[in-house]
Structure 1
Amino acid sequence: MKNSRKRHAAGDEGEALLVTAVLLLALNLRGPVVAVAAVTGGIADDLRVDATTLGLFTSLPVLCFGLGAPLASVVLARLGVGRGVLLALCALGTGILVRSSGGLGTALAGTVIMGLAVSVSNVAVPMVIGHHLPRRAATVLGAYGAFINLGSMLALGITAPLERSLGWRAALAGGVGLVALASAAWWLALRGSLADTSAAADVTAGPGDVSGGWWRNPVVWGLTLSFACLAFCYLGITAWLPLVLHDRAGLSTAGAPLGSTVFQLASVLGGLGFPLLMRGPRRRVPLVLSVSAAMTVLPLGLLSAPALWTVWCAVGGAAQGSGLTLVLSLVVERARDLRENRRWSALVQGAGYLVAAPAAALIGGVHDATGGWHTPLLVITAVGLALAPAGLVAALRGHTAPAASAGGARAQART
C-alpha cells in the first residue's frame, strides 16, 4: 500500500512538472515573434528598412510554422518528443540572439531559425499531452493556449520599456532568458515523465498504424481547414484591429491599440474557460457551432455597432482562445496513437498556417482595393463561418482514440 501511494505521488509530481514544462514552453511560442511589433521604429531606423520589409519579421515565422511542420515531424520521429523539443528550444534561443546580432540579412536569418524552431514545438505539444496527460488533455490544452497569448502580452509589455533604456537589439535578445527557463523545465521533465517517449515508441506500428492513408482521412482535413480558418481570422484581425478601430469606432491613434489588449486578454480567458465546456463527445457539435458563430461577432459587430467595440473584441478574443483549444483537443482525442498524433499535428498546423499566412496582406489588399473596411470584415466573417462545416467533419466522422492506446492504458492503470 505504501509503495502504491509513493508511486502515485511520484506520478502526480511528474505530471505537475510536465505541465509546468508545457506552459513555460507556450510562453515562448509567440512572444519572441510578436515582440518585434514593440520595436519597429528602432529596427527601421537602425537597419534602414521600409514597412514592407519590417512585415517580414512577423510574416516569415508564420510561413516557417507551415513549411517547417513536415521537418518537425521527422525530427520528433527520429529524436523523440523530449529531445526534439529541447533541440527546438536551443534553436529558438540561437535564433533570438542571431536576430539581434547583425544587419538585415542576419536579422531575417535569425527570424527563420526561430520560426522553424517553433514549428517543432507546435507539433510536439499535442503529442506530449495526448500520450502523457490524456485524462487532462482539454484542461492542459486550454492552459497551453492561454499561455501562448500570455507570452505575447508579456513580450509586448516588456520589450518596449527595455528598448527605451537598452536599444532594440538588447530588448529582443532578452527573450532568451525565458527560453532558458523553459529549457531547464523541459530537461527535468525529460529525465522523468518524458523518458519513455522515445523515437522507438513513436515508430513502432500498432493497432493505430494507418500508414499509407492517414492523409486521406476526412477527419484530418476537417481539422486542417478548421485550424486554417482559425489562424486566418486571427492573423487578419490582429494585424489591422487598431486601424479598424481608429477608422470605424473613432478611437485615437494612441487609444486604438487598447482593442488588441482586450482581444488578447479575452483569448487567455477563453482558453482557460473552454475546457469546462468540453465534457464528452456529445458536446463536440454545439461547441464547433458556437466557436464558429462567435468568430463572426467581432467583424459583424464592428460593421453594425462599432461603438460597442469592447464587447466585440472580448467575444472575438474568447472565440480565438476557445477555438485553438477545440481544434488541438480534437487532434488529441481522435488520433489513435502517438504516430498518428504526430502526423495529424504536422499536417493540421503545417497546412493550416500556410493557408493563413497571407491573411494580413490579403485583408490589407482588399481594404486598399475597396477603400474601406466593409468588404475586408465580410471576408473575415465568411472564413469564420467556414469553420463550422469543417469542424463538424472533424467532430463527427471517423473514430475516437481507444482506451488501449499508450496514453490511455497508462491513465487507466493509475485509476
Structure 2
Amino acid sequence: MERTNLSPYTNQTTTKHNTYTNSGGSDNCTDDDKWASKLLRECARAIYDKDSAKINHLLWMLNELSSPYGDCDQKLAYYFLQALFCKATESGQRCYKTLISVADKTHCFDTAKKLILKFQEVSPWTTFGHVASNGAILEAFDGENKLHIIDISNTLCTQWPTLLEALATRSDETPSLKLTVVVTANMVRSVMKEITQRMEKFARLMGVPFEFNVITGSSRSLGQLTKEELGVQEDEAVVINCIGALRKIEVEERGDVIRLFSSLKPRVVTVVEEEADFTSSRSDFFKCFEECLRYYTLYFEMLEESFSPTSNERLMLERECSRSIVRVLSCDDKENVGSGDCERREKGNQWCERLKELFSPVSFSDDVVDDVRALLRRYRSGWSLAVDQANSNKDSGILLAWKDEPVVWASAWKP
C-alpha cells in the first residue's frame, strides 16, 4: 500500500541572549526549564490580567530574544510574540488577513507539492492518517465495483495514488472510482486544475476507470451541501474521507456536517485530526494559550528534529503555523475572517462524542494497524502508536505519538 514511485506527485543566526536563555543542555524545546515558554506564559498572563506595563516589558524582551532563524526556543518566541502582540493591540484580524494575502500570492502547485512531499519524507505526521484511512476505505470497498470517495481535506490529493495502485492490482475486476474533492482552504483552490490533470493522467496509467470532480467556492456551509451537488448516485458505494479539514468548520456548524454525512449513507467515514483542543477553552484566553503553546511546542520540536537547520520547507511549515497561532489567539470568532478559516480544533475524544450521535466507531483491522506500524518504522525513532486514555474502547481510533505525546488521531465510522 505504501508504494509511491509511480505517484503523479513524484519528481526526480544567532540572536541576543539574556539571563532567560539557556545555552547548555538539549535543544529540546519541550523542556520545562526553557526560557521561551516561561516568558510567553508571563506575557499571556499579563494580557489576561490587562497589566499594560508588564505587557510592554515582556513584549520588548521577547522581541529582543526571538528569531525565525534561531533554535526552537527562539522560533517559538518569535511566532507566539506575533500573536500576543496582536492580542494586546487588538490587531489580530488585520494581521491575519495580511498573512493570508502574502501566502496566497506565493502559493503555487510546484511549491506546495515539494513542501508536502518533503514533509511526508521526514515525518509520518500526514502519512499516518493516509495509511490508516486508505486501509479502512479499501476494506469497506471490498467486492464493490462502482466506488465514490468524497474527499474533504486539503492535502492536494497526495493520499490517493497508493489507493489507485491498490485498486488497479485487485484480484477481481478493476472497479471504477469517482473522486469528489470538496476544497475548504482558499490556497488549495488555486492549484486544483493542476491536480486534476495529474490525477486523471495517473488513473489512466493505472488502468482504473476514473472520474474526478472538484467542489470549491460554495457560498454556503459544508453542512448545507446536498446529495445532488456531491454527485452521489444510488448504485455507488460511498466513502467520506476527512483529513484535517473538520477543524476548519465553525463549531456551531459541525452537527450539520455530521448529519450531511449520515444522509449520504456511506460505507465508512474516515476522520483524521490533530490532537489539540482549541474549542472548549475558547472563552478563556489563558487556558487556550496554554493548550496552543503545548501543541505547537511539540510540533516545532518535531520539525527541528526532522528537518535540517537550513531547510526551506521547515521554514514554510513554521510560517504556516504562525498564521494558525495568530488565528487562534488573537482573532475574534464573531468576525467573518473568510471562508474556511476556523481554527477551533478538537481532540479525538471530543470528535467521538459528536460522531457517536449518528455513527458507530469501527476498529481498524490488524492488517491496517500492521501497515501503520510498518510505516512508522521508516522514520527516525520517537514515533509510536499511543493508547487513547480518554477512550478505553479500541474502536475509538488510533493515535500517532511523538515521544509518547499523542499528536494525530485517526478513526473510522459507520452509520
What is the TM-score when the length of structure 2 is the normalising length? 0.27
Higher percent of residues as helix = 1
What is the TM-score when the length of structure 1 is the normalising length? 0.27
Higher percent of residues as strand = 2
Higher RCO (C-alpha under 8 Å, 6+ residues apart): 1
